[in-house]
Amino acid sequence: MLKNKAAIVTGSTSGIGLGIATALAAQHCNVMLNGFGDPTAIENTRKGLSEKYGVKIGYSAADVSKPAEIRALVASAERELGSVDILVNNAGIQHVAPVEDFPDDRWDAVIAINLAAAFHAIKAALPGMKRRNWGRIINVASAHGLVASGQKAAYVTSKHGIVGLTKVVGIETANDGITCNAICPGWVLTALVQKQIEAKAKETGISVEQAKRNLLSEKQPMLQFTTPEQIGGLAVFLCSEHAATMTGAALPIDGGWTAQ
């Protein structure tokens, strides 16, 4: 479906981003990976995706907290892959603290990576998309882009901002063959979350399964994690012709979290 298209997925060396990158590659889309991690593991991932799906898979270590590096990421993807038809802004970080105790540098870092990076990447990618009269922009927001939780001032602010940015870009590009939508996941079972659950189970003397249920039940009516693969499937749908008139939307995939 996406043969001869090319995508950038930020924060795609693991977790949700890797799930999206894999789903796009499975549709014969060339992909530029981005993120931090062990260089050998990243190269194995890059090579494995390329060989399995027969597509070009590049990698950039661009730091998306820095606008100049974001612009260089888009330029390198255009050179290596021929175009940037799909942009997935997924990179994100978190910090938890009450507002009065929230460190200034953590606020700045969360806003830079979770929100400002998406703006700079969209700004850099849009001219090429407009020339080709085709583009798909997907911003990975969160259930916290639609509702709030305490002690997450920067994260909630950044994700609400992402939803607003998505609406503006969707409106501005509505007649350019481009769509811009936000995916709003609830709890996602990534390797990092799994480790946190196992640590909590050990600390409290309960089973891992019970720790999972406890975590989910704090927010979600559905006691089931979303997977990176499911989010990847939603991203593929948003890139398809079936979603050609969907733009400016914030789509929950959150087990009913925001339905309450």
* Confidence at residue 205, expressed as pLDDT on a 0 to 100 scale: 97
SS3 98: coil
- Pick the catalytic residue from 23, 31, 117, 155: 155
Q: What are the residue boundaries of the structural domains of the chain, listed by start? A: 6-188+226-259, 189-225
CB neighbours (10 Å) of residue 40?
Answer: 8
pLDDT tens digit string along 66-77? 999 999 999 999
Please state, in angstroms and rounded to a whole number, the distance separating the CA atoms of residues 92 and 136. Answer: 20
Domain 6-188+226-259 in this protein, CATH class: alpha beta
* Confidence at residue 181, expressed as pLDDT on a 0 to 100 scale: 99
Confidence of residue 186 (pLDDT cuts 50, 70, 90): very high
Is 59 in the active site?
no
Measure Cα distances from 121 to 62, 66, 91 in Å: 12, 11, 11
Long-range contacts of 168-173 (CB under 8 A, 24+ apart): 169/122, 169/126, 169/137, 169/248, 170/247, 170/248, 170/249, 171/247, 171/248, 173/126, 173/129, 173/130, 173/135, 173/137, 173/247
Predicted TM-score (pTM) of this structure: 0.98
* Confidence at residue 167, expressed as pLDDT on a 0 to 100 scale: 99
Please state, in angstroms and rounded to a whole number, the distance separating the CA atoms of residues 220 and 131. Answer: 42
Measuring CA to CA, which residue among 77, 56, 63 is closest to residue 11?
63
Q: Which stretches does DSSP call E strand in 75-158?
A: 86-89, 135-140
pLDDT tens digit string along 187-235? 999 988 999 999 999 999 999 999 999 999 999 999 999 999 999 999 9
Written as one letter, the residue type at 158 is S
